[in-house]
Structure 1
Amino acid sequence: MTGRGRGPALLVAGAFFMENLDATIISTAAPDMAASFGTRPEAVGVTMTAYLVALAVFIPVSGWAADRWGTRRVFAWAIAVFTVASALCAAADGLTELVLTRVLQGIGGAMMVPVGRLTVLRTTSKPDLLRAIAWLTWPGLLAPVLAPALGGLFTTYASWRWIFLVNVPLGVAALPATLWLLPDLRREDGRGQRRLDLVGFVLAGTGLAALVLGLELLGGPPAGWGAAALWLGAGLLASGLAVRHLLRSRRPLLDLATFRVVTFRVSNSGGALFRAAISAVPFLLPLMFQQALGWSAARAGLVLVSVFAGNIAVKPFTTPLLRRFGFRTVLVVNGAATAVTFLLCGLLDPRTPLALVVAALFVSGVCRSVSLSAYATIVFADIEPERTADANALSSTVQQLATGLGIALAALGLRAAGPLASLLDLDGPTAAYALAFGILAVLPLACVVEALRLPRDAGAVVTGPVPPRAGRPAAPSSRSGRSAK
């Protein structure tokens, strides 16, 4: 990957970091924000939901917008909207005003990250895709780990308004860099000038918004589970109607035929399960450290940094691993290893030496980094250039829903683990957390089953031919990752 290609990738990575950070950073600042607005801390959660709903609704439009007006123009406008919305969030005087500005911020984020990634995908050759995606994935690994610590620092030593103000200088710096570094790519054929599929947009947006709302409520108190079921039912119905429309439309908002590509389909299903699993960990670990182990918030936040240390430490080895063993083998082995790290986290208790806690979290960070990089790369390995925009929007939508699913499953698993621990006559402060991590360990094991459906040479166009095993001839190049006939 050349220096010229690394510049756009780093720019998009920075935008990815801002968008991921703002999705979760409010959680630790909620009490101070509630006091500022004269309301209850749980009421502030609507600002997180509003942001996630806006992301889910507008991500599917990102590919159409980039094809219509060009990647540089859309990305620049997205950064401008996100930056202005961040400043407005910081200046909000009431909860309603903050919710509205968070929606605007979510619209900017929904265009910013997918369009930026689309630009990198369209300007990167297949052999360089592994390195390019590696640059794009680290912010998604870093932001959920740093968000609680940064939110706590800002609210403790400054003001909750700084969790939004920090985006302003970043956005101001990113805007001229966008105009300088990003090429202006657009579709020159008839598809690039097609009108927006309004029916598809309304149906897909309604379905995705309802699903996100349902998942948010499902992860909350049991009193909201009835409403969660209604929202999830409405979301599934609207999403089903959207799929029906997209399959029948001559000019659909999203081309669902992209799912016929085996590597794209399998990596999205397995990748969604994996993302859901690792999204649950930043939710469960701080609770366990503070409630079960009796740690302070500061100590819990600092120890969680070891997860990020594992993410970074393995980065130089991810590409060689994938080139040596191939996507299928790495995803199978690493999925099983991730399940083991979940079980190790569940075995932690107040008597566990700090060094062992840090080691377990470090290994967990290694595993999540390797699999996320693999899924993020193979998902586009066999996608043809004309399908990149649709594939990118579809994959981004799946990732958004998977993150919400993971947090909801973590909350449900923890609530179910309490009565289950009593039923199994398990005691101790960490018994419920051990069972919750055990339940969640099923998700990475399901990823192993999905990965086994990939051919051994899946993604070889990116990694090169997989070296033969001892005593076996090299596998011939295949088109197994291409569209099913």
Structure 2
Amino acid sequence: MFRIPKHILVPMIVACALFMENMDSTVIATSLPTIARDLHEDPIALKLALTSYLLSLAVFIPISGWMADRFGSRTVFRSAICVFMAGSILCALSGSLVGFVAARFVQGMGGAMMVPVGRLVVLRSTTKAEMVRALSYLTIPALIGPVIGPPLGGFISTYFHWRWIFFINIPISIIGLVMAGRHIENLRDEFVQPLDWSGFLLSALGLSALMLGLATAGRHLVSLPVALAGIVAGVLLVSAYVWTARSKLHPLLNLGLLQIPTFRIGVVAGFFFRIGIGAIPFLLPLFLQLGFGLSSFESGLLTCASAVGALFMKTMAARILQRFGFRRVLIWNTVVAAASLMLIGVFTSHTPHALITVVLLIGGCFRSLQFTSLNALAYADIERPQMSQATSLASVVQQLAAGMGVTVGAFALQGSGFLQGHASVVAADFPPAFIVIALVSLSSLIWLRTLVRNAGAAISGHGRPLEE
């Protein structure tokens, strides 16, 4: 009987779970207007469903590694699948905005554990000789999920019912549970550092209050005074975490890493660039559906072009960085990527779909190059013992930026409509919103311009001859 080698089987099991998580995070975007109609809510209010998911990732990612070390990677990985599946079921059964937002938060808890713990499972289950091939399997869901997600979500919402978007996770989850139970070892560390519980509580409560306060400040879900109180409480709690973390030997998030110039610039500049880009999954489907009257499926077919462009750029990013270096690529590419965001606002209902597809595909290429470059720059001068802490901090910032992007995009859209005197969202509200998010991404130049010319040269290979 044919047996799949373990160094291939384990990454494939993890990749299936990661594919489900990656696809689910994009599949909902094209279905937001449909879900809003069914729940009798303003489509802009559904920003909370995206924000709560991303917030949950930011809150629970930092403790995922500790949990795997403490309770075993297989136990935590299977538990994460169960939580994700439970969140999916709750999403499918939700009948109100409050219930849907809460269900997405639960789903994010599972996703926060699946991604880093799944990667840890692969790293601990393969030899160094097999590691490159094993890790290559994990890139598949990250690249393919965003391509399949938008049209799949649009197809289900248009021709079936949006609730099936979440029900399809159930059989995949069950298969993952069975396969993980049979083929993944329950590896754990013998000596586990104590978890910074006070830091976790301060950061979790602070980030939750701050992000949800900002997201609900548009008078969705709670009143404005309650939202403002959440923002103030969030700022105070996050400030308290920053103050107390400085004196801890093993803080939840090691903010001292920000003293490393390349890491600081990669993370901070990446935060502002990702805010602008993070608004796209929210604004673009609304623009195409509410502004142009396209169906969810038609919208999904167009929006996936950005993911196709990102997939294409992955094959070229390394050579571009080697040829031009981090500083030049990041500065010029920021300008081009921001311009591509403004260009989306020029679309009208008469713009040929072929032209929209080309613009989104090319824009996806430049945004992918920026993400790849920022990620690589952040780790350019990080020593191996610091890699885990750096990954946790960078991951939290990335999820917060994506959540902030949705919030900023929603505020820009609402502000545009208010200034133009529109009672409901119309196509004319979107161009100013895209200009706003493009300017936010462009503001990352403030930090990128401080890069030294040879920054990250050791990993980009800039200055060395190109390989034939």
Alignment TM-score, normalising by the size of structure 2: 0.81
Query: Structure 2 CA distance, aligned partners of 1:53 and 1:229?
Result: 18
Corresponding position of 1:434:
431
Pairing 1:267-306 to 2, within 5 Å after superposition: 267-306=266-305
Letter in 1 for 2:114: M
AA paired with 2:62?
A: P
- Change in CA separation of 1:458 and 1:280 when aligned onto 2, cut-off 3 Å: same
CA drift at 1:324: 2.5
Change in Cα spacing, 1:174 to 1:461, as seen in structure 2 (3 Å) is farther
Mapping of residues 358-369 of structure 1, within 5 Å: 358-369=357-368
Query: Which of 130, 145, 165 matches 2:167?
Result: 165
Q: Which of 56, 61, 64 pairs up with 2:63?
A: 61
The reply on whether 1:75 has 2:77 as its aligned counterpart is yes
Aligned with 1:441: secondary structure? helix
Question: Residues of 2 paired with 1:452 and 1:181: CA distance?
Answer: 49
Q: Corresponding residue for 1:109?
A: 111
Partner of 2:443: 446
> How much has 1:364 moved relative to structure 2?
0.8
> Are the structure 2 counterparts of residues 341 and 32 from structure 1 closer, same or farther at C-alpha, using a change threshold of 3 Å?
closer
Indicate the residue corresponding to 1:255 in structure 2. 254
Partners of 1:458 and 1:119 in 2: how far apart? 32
Match of 1:426 in 2: none
Aligned to 1:354: 353
1:299-318 mapped onto 2 (5 Å cutoff): 299-318=298-317
CA contact under 8 A between 2:150 and 2:304: conserved in structure 1?
no
Shift of 1:46: 6.3
**Which position in structure 2 is the counterpart of 1:244?**
243
Q: Contact (CA 8 Å) 1:134, 1:315: kept in 2 or not?
A: no
The RMSD of aligned alpha carbons is: 4.0
2:461 corresponds, among 452, 459, 464, to 464
Separation in 2, partners of 1:447, 1:187: 39
Aligned to 1:410: 409
Aligned residue in 2 for 1:472: none
For the residues of structure 2 that align with 1:380 and 1:265, how far apart are their CA atoms?
10
Shift of 1:435: 2.2
Q: Say if 1:75 and 1:111, in contact at 8 Å, map to a contact too.
A: yes
Aligned mates of 2:434, 2:131 — CA distance in 1: 34
Q: Deviations over 1:409-445 (max 9, x none)?
A: 11122233345568xxxxxx75542222222221232
**AA aligned opposite 1:154:** I
2:381 partner SS = coil
Mapping of 1:29-48 within 5 angstroms? 40-41=40-41
- The whole-number CA distance in structure 2 between the counterparts of 1:322 and 1:374 is 8
What secondary structure does 1:193 align onto? coil
Q: Distance in 1 between matches of 2:439 and 2:37?
A: 40
**1:105-154 alpha-carbon deviations (Å, 9 max, x no partner):** 3222111113334567889999x999999876775566566545433322
- Match of 1:83, SS state, is helix
The verdict on how the C-alpha distance between 1:180 and 1:322 changes in structure 2, with shifts beyond 3 A counting, is farther
State the shift of 1:351 in Å: 4.1
Q: Render the CA deviation track for 1:281-307: whole Å, top value 9, x for unaligned.
A: 222222322343343443322222222
Offset at 1:458?
Answer: 2.9
Distance in 2, Cα, partners of 1:45 & 1:436: 15
In structure 2, distance between residues paired with 1:231 and 1:92: 25
Aligned residue in 1 for 2:153: 151
Q: Work out whether residues 129 and 462 of structure 1, in 8 Å CA contact, stay in contact via their aligned partners in 2.
A: no
Cα pair 1:118 1:388 within 8 Å, conserved: no
- Alpha-carbon deviation of 1:449? 3.1
1:446: how far off?
Answer: 1.9
Amino acid at match of 2:252: L
- State which of 18, 21, 28 in structure 2 corresponds to 1:19: 21
Query: Structure 1 residues 136, 270: closer, same or farther in 2, change over 3 A?
Result: farther
Measured at CA, do residues 197 and 312 of structure 1 come closer, stay the same or move farther in structure 2, by a change above 3 Å?
closer
CA contact (8 A) 1:263 1:381 kept: yes
Distance change >3 Å, CA 466–CA 252, structure 1 → 2: same
Matched residue SS, 1:251: coil
State the alpha-carbon separation in 2 of the partners of residues 198 and 282 from structure 1. 34
For structure 1, list consecutive stretches of 5 or more residues without a partner in the other structure: 423-428, 470-485
Task: Give 3-state SS (helix, strand or coil) of 1:250's partner.
Answer: coil
Tell me how far 1:173 sits from its aligned partner: 4.0
| CA distance 1:88–1:438, change in 2 (3 Å) | closer
Letter paired with 1:433: F
Instruction: State the distance in 2 between where 1:460 and 1:95 align.
Output: 48
Code of the aligned partner of 1:167: N
Q: Does the 8 Å CA contact 2:334/2:445 hold for their aligned counterparts?
A: yes
* Matched AA of 1:66: A
Write out aligned runs for 1:84-103 (5 A).
Answer: 84-87=86-89, 89-90=91-92, 102-103=104-105
Shift of 1:327: 2.5
Task: Give the number of aligned pairs.
Answer: 455
Q: Compared with structure 1, are the counterparts of its residues 447 and 99 closer, same or farther at alpha carbon in structure 2 (3 Å cutoff)? A: closer
Q: Distance in 2 between matches of 1:321 and 1:125?
A: 31
Local SS of the residue matching 1:454: coil
Deviation at 1:32, TM superposition (A): 7.1
Q: Check conservation: 1:118, 1:392, Cα contact below 8 A.
A: no
Question: CA separation of 1:103/1:297 partners in 2, compared to 1, >3 Å: closer, same or farther?
Answer: closer
Call closer, same or farther: CA 1:40–1:179 in 2, change over 3 Å: same
Residues 230 and 117 of structure 1: CA distance in aligned 2, closer, same or farther (over 3 Å): farther
How big is each residue's C-alpha offset from its partner over 1:385-417, in whole Å with a ceiling of 9 and x where there is no partner? 322222222112111111111111111222333
Percent of residue pairs bearing the same amino acid type = 40
Residue pair 1:219, 1:407 contacting (<8 A) in 2 also: no
**Aligned equivalents of 2:281, 2:14: Cα separation in 1:** 24
In 1, the alpha carbon distance for the partners of 2:402 and 2:127 equals: 29
CA 1:298 to 1:224, structure 2 compared with 1: closer, same or farther past 3 Å? Answer: farther
The runs of 5 or more residues in structure 2 that have no matched partner are none
CA distance in 2, matches of 1:96, 1:149: 26
Check the 8 A contact 1:339/1:442 in 2, yes or no.
Answer: yes
Deviations 1:236-286 (A, max 9, x none): 110111111211223322322222222222111111122211121222222
